[in-house]
Chains A and B, each alone.
Chain A
């Protein structure tokens, strides 16, 4: 059971990074995510997806992460070709 939840956690981290909720790893420096930073990223993702904002990788969140989707990030940072500034009306 532990192996399965670790796998899901790692997949969740990878997903949050891929879609812009967590910063890309910096190849020049080892970096450890804080628990608060992770919970905040999960909450942002949950708000964006219209889920309850628990800040945890719960079943609804993991199910949403498994849904087919567009491969552009939701929060785009400094990606060269796809960068954008997020503006809200």
Chain B
């Protein structure tokens, strides 16, 4: 066994399941039951006693969370990393145990569902070993081996391997005579009840990945220049164009895996822009908006767009900073407001008709600037260029967004499958090359 240099200074510890899996077939009672028995494996082999405590005050807080979850150890979706726990200590996060909510957590003591899920009990016993001060062991028979080895049997009958028993005994001593952790355990789940309810029918809830939209069809929901890069948002994905005009990838990234704090169930982003005064990033969805510091939403959001001085229910469809005067413009269908980022309020005398910008239709998808100092208006499959501070689009526009921004071969083609030479002699390369 391997010990960390951390240990709890007490043997009576509290635990609480603060959040539960969002899509697991396991009920909350069932989860608590599994967690209870996973901790009992350790208390059966040492002087430790566990009690279910209230949230936040508990020593060991259990969370099911995904992707970036504010502890510097992001999860990676199905497969790969499954869970982690923090060693004992005085820090609020010490002892806390996080499970990747994107795994298919199952109860499978008899390994009937081979490869079709991850047995929560087996992983929980391992993680609580960390929460109590054990590190990874290279001993194959140890529960502290870092790799998932599959189910370990019935929770109420489970006994730690000798390697782990010796490790936990070294940290907290042998189980005291006369003390039975079951009697000091929580009221729920009752230890005398049948240990675990039957596993519900297998129903996969996660596909391998979200179906991604076709960039060559354009029709972007929102487009924004953020820190010199242009982000093209469509449904729940985005593409990212770097200052050298290359796309980071031809494959889109998932918005919720990068921008942390938007609602999970949003359908599309209506508008995005980077604020000129403080570089914060503002997202509009429906009649609400979110303000981000980098990729993390600020506390207190969403707020209604009426907080910006807009009429209640306003749905901003395009937002941009006009480089000519540094002002922010918020557009809804055929009208716009000029917004003062410093004051946090729209200026008096608005809305006015979008017809100020000549040559573009109303109800734009979005407007953004490029690093050439020009502003680009996007709608459906086309875009218009406005040079410098002109309010009339340049001659020969509109042009094809798919061809000029997404490097597609024709205005109505699907994504090209083979690499090709892009605009200005730039080489476009496929996924892994």
Is A87 in the interface zone, CB < 8 Å from B? yes
Pick from A49, A50, A71, A88: contact of B75, CB under 8 Å: A71
Asked whether, in the complex, the Cβ of A84 is within 8 Å of the Cβ of B75, the reply is: no
Main secondary structure of the interface of A (DSSP, over half): loop
Cβ of B206: which chain A residues have Cβ within 8 Å of it?
A: none
Is A85 in the interface zone, CB < 8 Å from B? yes
B67-91 toward A: CB 8 Å interface, digit per residue (1/0)? 0000111010001111111110001
Cβ of A86: which chain B residues have Cβ within 8 Å of it?
A: 2, 135
Is B43 in the interface zone, CB < 8 Å from A? no
Residue of B nearest to A88 (CB): B2
Is B3 in the interface zone, CB < 8 Å from A? yes
Asked whether, in the complex, the Cβ of A82 is within 8 Å of the Cβ of B136, the reply is: no
B181-218, CB < 8 A from A: none
Pick from B5, B82, B140: contact of A71, CB under 8 Å: B82
Is A7 in the interface zone, CB < 8 Å from B? yes
Cβ of B126: which chain A residues have Cβ within 8 Å of it?
A: 70
Is B114 in the interface zone, CB < 8 Å from A? no
Q: How far is the CA of A4 from the CA of B432 in the complex (A)?
A: 8
Asked whether, in the complex, the Cβ of A81 is within 8 Å of the Cβ of B147, the reply is: no
B139-173 toward A: CB 8 Å interface, digit per residue (1/0)? 01000001110000000000000000010001000
Q: How far is the CA of A86 from the CA of B144 in the complex (A)?
A: 14
Is A35 in the interface zone, CB < 8 Å from B? no
B116-154, CB < 8 A from A: 118, 123, 126-127, 130, 135-136, 138, 140, 146-148
Cβ of B138: which chain A residues have Cβ within 8 Å of it?
A: 47-50, 74
Q: How far is the CA of A54 from the CA of B116 in the complex (A)?
A: 32
Is B433 in the interface zone, CB < 8 Å from A? yes
Q: How far is the CA of A69 from the CA of B161 in the complex (A)?
A: 19
Q: How far is the CA of A79 from the CA of B362 in the complex (A)?
A: 53
Q: How far is the CA of A3 from the CA of B1 in the complex (A)?
A: 40
Is A72 in the interface zone, CB < 8 Å from B? yes
Pick from A70, A87, A88: contact of B81, CB under 8 Å: A70
Cβ of A72: which chain B residues have Cβ within 8 Å of it?
A: 84-85, 130, 135-136, 146
Interface size class of A (residues with CB under 8 A): 20 to 34
Asked whether, in the complex, the Cβ of B83 is within 8 Å of the Cβ of A89, the reply is: no
Q: How far is the CA of A7 from the CA of B79 in the complex (A)?
A: 19
| Distance in Å: Cβ of A6 to nearest Cβ of chain B | 9
| Distance in Å: Cβ of B341 to nearest Cβ of chain A | 32
Is B93 in the interface zone, CB < 8 Å from A? yes
B residues lining the A interface (CB < 8 Å):
1-6, 71-73, 75, 79-87, 91, 93, 103, 118, 123, 126-127, 130, 135-136, 138, 140, 146-148, 166, 170, 432-433
8 A-B pairs with the lowest CB-CB distances in the bound complex, closest first: A84-B4, A71-B81, A71-B84, A85-B5, A68-B148, A48-B138, A74-B136, A69-B147
18 more CB-based (< 8 A) A-B contacts, given A70-B84, A71-B84, A89-B170: A3-B432, A48-B136, A49-B147, A68-B79, A68-B80, A69-B80, A69-B82, A69-B146, A70-B127, A70-B136, A71-B82, A72-B135, A72-B136, A81-B91, A85-B4, A86-B2, A87-B3, A88-B2
